[in-house]
Amino acid sequence: MRGACHVRYGSLSDSLWGAFANPEYSPPQEPEQIWANREGLHRIDPMRVEWHEVKANKDHICTRGLRHQAERSVFQVAKRAGWDGELKVCAGCLAMILYFKQVHELPPYMKTHWDVVEQRPVRLDEATDK
């Protein structure tokens, strides 16, 4: 008899994919997807100088034209010479960008997977229950 298959650890790639390709099942604002965005940004730029996460203080439209409610995480390019700091990308759109940039192929910054049971990011090489 075959039982239900439970996956304990979700990969960075799976988390990013879910946030933009299946947002009804993997809402981009859930901790797993926000972790994936943060990890992906750190993999590209470990000092994360250009991007920072902010909570929107009002309803807004992200750079790609999607509407989002206040109090949602958005990722914004930091203000600096030549940039006005107005480039804001919602969590779902950023997940899509990071997925297609293949950040999951880059070396880990901190963690490698999301532990579905513990609801936290982990490194599989450190996990005791693989």
Inside any domain, residue 100 = yes
Inside any domain, residue 98 = yes
Inside any domain, residue 120 = no
CA distances (Å), 110 to each of 41, 54, 63, in order? 11, 21, 28
- The amino acid occupying position 84 is D
Inside any domain, residue 40 = yes
Query: Above 90 in pLDDT, residue 66?
Result: no
Question: Residue 48's domain spans which residues?
Answer: 9-106
Please report the pLDDT score of residue 100 as a whole number: 96
Backbone angles phi and psi of 75, in degrees to 5: -115, 130
Inside any domain, residue 124 = no
* The total number of structural domains that make up the chain: 1
Inside any domain, residue 119 = no
What value, to the nearest 5°, has the Cα angle with vertex 120 and ends 2 and 5?
5
Name the one residue in this structure whose structure tokens are 């940004």: 41
Model confidence pLDDT, tens digit, residues 2-38: 444 567 999 999 999 999 998 888 889 899 999 999 9
Backbone angles phi and psi of 14, in degrees to 5: -65, -40
Q: Which residue has the higher pLDDT, 60 or 19?
A: 19
Report residue 100 as tokens.
């297609």
